[in-house]
Structure 1
Amino acid sequence: MNRVFIVGYGDIGQRVAQRWLQTDAEVFALGRNVDVADSAITPLRADLDRPQTLADLPTQAAVIYYFAPPPAEGERDTRLENFLGAVSGAALPRRIIYISTSGVYGDRRGAWVTEATAPQPDTPRAQRRLAAELALQTWAKRYDVPCVILRVGGIYGPGRLPLERLRQGLPVLRRDLAPPTNRIHADDLAHICQAAAAAPGMRPIYNVCDDQASTMSDYFIAVAEHAGLPRPREIDWQQAEAEFSPTMLSYLRESRRMDTSKLHRELDVELRYPRLEQGLAACLAES
């Protein structure tokens, strides 16, 4: 695994790249305007919406991480499809690892979900993610390339905390009304991404979150307390429907608890931040 190819070089892509550089891997980063500060990483500028820019990619025998988001509209992830079309034939990778979302499970009213739970996405963005999963699995089976799908909860970390929202005094849903959610620290997600390069089987799927199911309101309140900011006021559902954005409401209307026993059993992953308070302390210590 001496060649690593990262599509979508954002926060998680950069964290994964740094982990692989410590193993002396050759790392490539692809993006439309990819900006690479580390000279050990080779930048490749291409546009996933323009297939003609994806020719001759150095993906042969590489471990590919696909972190790029789907288009904002439509029923499919045409960007992923364009990329897969470019790496067929002689450019086949050793493995593809795809970050999906826990949203593919839809609203389960707080029930536990495992990787065997049938997806039933409720929102267009989650439907596009499920379409991407299926497209990748179909492609991987056709070309006999292993792929790993990580269904990830909400990601937090340095630079990803809702500090501005809290400074603005925006409210949260009352804690006794807020549904369960799942989240993962960015460093732990990067660690899991690296471990997934050695996952058993041809097309495994893993739920990815920390060991503490809580609520979005718990999260905002905990961030405020750790950052020394005023505690956000709590409002009921009627007020939330009048004050929250459609996106925030869509997150609050979905609820599930993710079982990660398969992740720990098969990848032998030990989280650095299994609980939110540990992760928040580390985030604010770095800021």
Structure 2
Amino acid sequence: MSIVNQKVWIMGCGDIGRRVARLYQNEGTKAIGWVRSEESLHKGLEQGIAMRKGDVDRGSYFSIFALDEALVYWFMPPQPTGDTDDRIRRFLKGVDAAPQRVVLISTTGVYGDCDGRWIDETEPLKPVAARAKRRTDAENTVQEWAARFGGEIVILRVPGIYAPDRLPLERLKRGEPVLTEAEAPWTNRIHADDLAMVCKRAMEAAPAGAIYNATDGHPSSMTDYFNQVADYAGLPRPPQISMSEAQAAMSAGMLSYLQESRRIRNDKLLTELNIRLQYPSLTAGLGMLKG
């Protein structure tokens, strides 16, 4: 898909949005970023992005004319409560058929617990956590919108994201515990720069309606993740505790992550979109960052 003279909107232009915008800037293409906070607004302006500020929760108006035939990246997370993504519902209702194509960031959490099995995009969705249910609703919402208006959508199911400025260093400095290696679930991840590249490639080359697992394809346990980051940063590895001990020592949010284990394939992403990841594993990514 050619992007010459097409409008590019990044809804929820935070860290990943700014990385995507930079890829367009490097090509001489302007992307417009939409944010809710003053902090995000200033960060985008400092990078030279054409920024807009508004709060979709408070009924911000999206011009159908401004978004007519636009390419829209939907990076805005759902609101923090409920089982539906009211933000994307409100947005799509406001713009009707205006965008040409929407690339949606979802989460691999939509698969729920898979007992550590290898899975791909054919795995049935069985979200457990409320945040994953909201993302599942977002997927259903954009699919319904595409069917009604003939717009094109691409869904990227994204796991944990890391980068030099997205590492749990403060948690490690506090010495917060992790599960014993034997009890730790499998987790998946992708480097932020690779995710930005995948988002842009999906916008330009993915078949309409395609769904991809946007992961590096090299999962490891959550405990291994914290150990590798600690080694990279020169910090002590975190203490390990049992699951029974974790019930009293860890937050409800962290415990919810520990209840799900899956290893996620990315074969479809690599082959269909001809993707070559710059950081194909956490070990390679941290090694390149340190080098």
Q: TM-score, with normalisation over the residues of structure 1?
A: 0.94
Structure 2 SS opposite 1:222: helix
2:31 aligns with 27
Counterparts of 2:25 and 2:161, CA distance in 1: 23
Which residue identity lines up with residue 83 of structure 1 in the other structure? F
TM-superposed deviation, 1:158: 2.0
Q: For residues 177 and 16 of structure 1, do their structure 2 counterparts lie closer, same or farther at Cα, with a shift above 3 Å needed?
A: same
CA RMSD of aligned residues (A): 1.5
The answer to whether 1:64 aligns with 2:67 is no
> Could you give the per-residue CA deviations for residues 147-168 of structure 1, whole angstroms, max 9, x where no partner exists?
0000011111121101001111
2:22 aligns with: 18
Aligned residues: 283
Partner SS, residue 45 of structure 2: coil
Q: CA deviation at 1:281?
A: 3.3
CA contact (8 A) 1:99 1:149 kept: yes
Distance of 1:219 and 1:244 partners within structure 2: 17
Return the match for 1:214 from 208, 213, 220.
Answer: 220
Among residues 173, 184, 188, which one is paired with 1:178 in the alignment?
184
Is 1:244 aligned to 2:250, yes or no?
A: yes
The answer to whether the Cα contact below 8 Å between 1:4 and 1:20 also exists between their aligned partners in 2 is: no
* C-alpha deviation, 1:56, in angstroms: 5.0
Q: Verify: 1:8 aligned to 2:35, yes or no.
A: no
AA of the residue aligned to 1:123:
A
- The structural deviation recorded for 1:62 is 1.9
2:58 counterpart of 1:50:
yes
Q: Provide Cα deviations, 1:157-208, integer angstroms capped at 9, x if missing partner.
A: 1211010011111111011211111000101100100100123432110011
Rounded Cα–Cα distance in structure 2 between residues aligned with 1:31 and 1:166? 30
Identity of aligned residues (%): 44
Checking the alignment, whether the CA contact within 8 Å between 1:5 and 1:30 is kept in structure 2 is: yes
In structure 2, runs of 5+ residues without a counterpart are none
- The Cα of 1:283 is off from its aligned counterpart by 4.2
More deviation, 33-42/204-213: 33-42
Q: 1:58 to 1:40 in 2, by over 3 A?
A: farther
How far off its partner does 1:57 sit?
6.2
Match of 1:220, as an amino acid? Answer: F
Aligned pair partner of 2:164 in 158, 172, 182:
158
Moved over 3 A (4+): 281-285
* Residue number among 93, 99, 105 corresponding to 2:105 in the alignment: 99
**d(CA) in 2 for partners of 1:57, 1:6:** 16
2:181 & 2:121 partners in 1: Cα distance? 28
Q: How far apart are residue 38 of structure 1 and its match? A: 4.2
- Provide the secondary structure at the position in 2 that maps to 1:274: coil
Q: Does 1:77 align with 2:93?
A: no
Q: Structure 1, unaligned stretches of length 5 or more?
A: none
- Aligned residue in 2 for 1:134: 140
Letter in 2 for 1:15: R
CA distance in 2, matches of 1:38, 1:4: 19
Cα distance in 1, alignment partners of residues 151 and 182 from structure 2: 46
Contact 1:3 1:27 in 2 (8 A): yes
Q: Give the conservation status (yes or no) of the 8 Å contact 1:46–1:54.
A: no
**2-structure distance, mates of 1:29, 1:217:** 36
**Cα distance in 1 between the residues matched to 2:258 and 2:250:** 10
The residue identity in structure 1 corresponding to 2:141 is: A
Letter in 2 for 1:48: V
Q: Which residue of 1 aligns with 2:120?
A: 114
State the shift of 1:40 in Å: 4.1
The 1:125–1:21 alpha-carbon spacing in structure 2 relative to 1, beyond 3 Å, is same
Output aligned runs, 1:219-238, within 5 Å: 219-238=225-244
**CA separation in 1, counterparts of 2:13 and 2:21?**
9
Residue 54 of structure 1 aligns to a residue whose secondary structure is: coil
Deviations 1:209-243 (A, max 9, x none): 11311011101000111111011111111111111
Show the counterpart of 2:198.
192
